[in-house]
Amino acid sequence: MIIGIDLGTTNSLAAYFTPEGPKIIPNRLGEALTPSVVSVDEEGTVYVGETAKERRALYPDTVAATFKRSMGSEREYHLSGRKFRAEELSSFVLRALKEDAESFLGEEVTEAVISVPAYFDDKRRKATKRAGEMAGLKVERIISEPTAAAIAYGLYERKKNTRFLVFDLGGGTFDVSILELFDHILEVRAVAGDNYLGGEDFTQTLLKLFLKKCGLKPEELDRRDEVRFYNEAERAKRRFNDEGQVELSCALGTGEERQEKRAVISYQEYEKECEPLLEKIKLPVKRSLSDARLKLSDIDVVVLIGGATRLQIVRDFLIKLFRKFPDTNINPDEAVALGAAIQAAMKERRDEVREVILTDVCSFTLGTDVVVDLGGGVKEPGHFCPIIERNTVIPASRTERFYTAHDRQTKICIRVLQGESRFAENNLYLGELEVEVPQGPAGKESVDVTYTYDINSILEVEATVLSTGETKKVIIKSEDNQMTDQQIAERMKELSYLKIQPRDREENKLVLLKAERVYEELLGEERRRLEAQIQRFEEVLKGGDRDRIREEREALQAFLDDIW
């Protein structure tokens, strides 16, 4: 049997399909949600879910949580003298869900459709697949969470053509997806998001405010105090849904040294502290609309999923942002699992499910690094050349022609990169392919490079040398990459502008910062035009002529104002 699983940052759950529709599978405690928490004791016993969560207060060093944020990285969690990676911890959660499903259904569960954030890159998706396999599940289909939620909401059953914005704010990740329904096709138009933004951050914001009011610093807390204060902040965060202010109280220390700490925090104070988080929400919304070439007024329905969308502070913000009340007909905690179960039924070709065609997109731009000719015999390496741009409907195949950059060059190395920065070093390295070319002057030899990306997140890179006809091909396996989670975050968090050398004038710094940010938001011809404008300004800066710098700065600013 195939089930659907929502492997979440904070909670996970499973669902199955019945003739009456998808149903949530209760866990061994009779609950729908299983906390994504794992604990390992000194004897090597593994605890999952509520049990592990309870152990956190007593044995904090034996417990791991929110490890989904590290999925696909080399980060290790140390529990009772043992080391685990995020996919290994996730496999324990998946195994518990599998066992609960088999007990409830009375039959063996052999396969699962597992959901992931739409903005998960190839590395994280493959790590999720490995986690399922380690749990004893066959995982042939990974589905994006917003797409699963769209299916659960029954979007494909609506009669008329409709555009949907699916807003998915979970415990640790945030996605915005724009989908369009026409006939029986549910097409993903664009995705954007932040793998490091979720309900956990709203808890941490309240925790910091609580500690500040108590006159405490985070480093003054031991591990047990951290857990206690965090749990109190988590509970208080939810009370804001019904109260204009909340009182938080927590004991610091134990025994005779125990101190009771109390603080009253108003909704207005909390809202002000959360402003940076709420501002971070706007960027993916804006990016997804821009990539889909739509305005907010073009959206017919806004759908909320993810447990953090229950927070009053989030809902108040979204009503102001979207200028309409979102659709909340289905429990936001359960929508993704229910949609994954429907997808599982489609895979089984169940008669009860009307077939719907789903299209998806490439979440990140795929390309390679190139040498750019700046003129006057000056060549600058390390620039990123997009080949398949983000939000291209997949499967997709694109070909670009590249030329030798130096005299007597004998090899061309195609480094496969994923990301949005115009500088190669700021994007995620996935692998490489090298071909030999005959010696000759720069620019004489050329190679056609073809990237082919399919719905199973498999990237095939093919390079053909035009003069010799030699062809090489490689399947990029991003799990071979040894980057740490921190490095991935740095490469994917719009840090290209930090690599620019310091400039003497603040105005120059400001316009370059804005230009780099806007560059990452653009696609196609506009991106190339801005690239040329930035390069022209950088060249003038090197000259030091203040009048020319001012003229080019104003020209670049005017260009930015015109396109953004």
**Is residue 471 predicted with pLDDT exceeding 50?**
yes
Mean pLDDT of 289-302: 91
Q: What are the pLDDT digits (tens) for 350-384?
A: 877 766 677 778 888 999 999 988 887 788 999 99
Q: What is the pLDDT of residue 487?
A: 45
Would you say 113 and 17 are in contact if contact means Cβ atoms under 8 Å apart? no
Domain 2-197+277-361, CATH? 3.30.420.40
Mean pLDDT of 544-564: 86
Q: What is the DSSP letter of 564?
A: -
CA 161 to the chain's CA centroid: 28
Domain-by-domain residue ranges, the chain?
A: 2-197+277-361, 199-275, 362-482, 500-564
The pLDDT mean for the chain works out to 85
Q: What are the pLDDT digits (tens) for 171-184?
A: 888 999 998 887 77
Q: Which two tokens stand for residue 181?
A: 């329904």
**Is residue 492 predicted with pLDDT exceeding 60?**
no
Confidence category of residue 150, pLDDT binned at 50, 70, 90: confident
Q: What is the pLDDT of residue 463?
A: 95
Q: Which two tokens stand for residue 534?
A: 């930035």
Mean pLDDT of 504-513: 65
Confidence category of residue 395, pLDDT binned at 50, 70, 90: confident
Would you say 248 and 210 are in contact if contact means Cβ atoms under 8 Å apart? yes
Mean pLDDT of 199-219: 93
Residue type, 383: H
**Is residue 108 predicted with pLDDT exceeding 90?**
yes
* CATH of the domain spanning 362-482, picked from 3.40.50.2020, 3.40.50.300, 1.20.1260.10, 2.60.34.10: 2.60.34.10
Strand partners, 449: 400, 463
Q: How far apart are CA 244 and CA 46, in angstroms?
A: 41
Instruction: Residue 264: name the closest of 319, 214, 332 by CA.
Output: 214
Q: Which CATH class is domain 199-275?
A: alpha beta
Mean pLDDT of 84-108: 93
- Selection from 79-88, 438-447, 454-463 with the highest mean pLDDT: 438-447
- pTM strictly above 0.95: no
Would you say 302 and 155 are in contact if contact means Cβ atoms under 8 Å apart? no
Place of tokens 């932040």: 194
Q: Among residues of the chain, what percentage have pLDDT more than 90?
A: 47
Q: What are the pLDDT digits (tens) for 258-286?
A: 688 899 999 999 999 999 999 999 999 99
Give the contacts of 173 (CB within 8 A, at least 6 positions apart).
9, 68, 69, 117, 119, 120, 193, 194, 195, 196, 197, 198
Q: What is the pLDDT of residue 503?
A: 31
Would you say 119 and 92 are in contact if contact means Cβ atoms under 8 Å apart? no
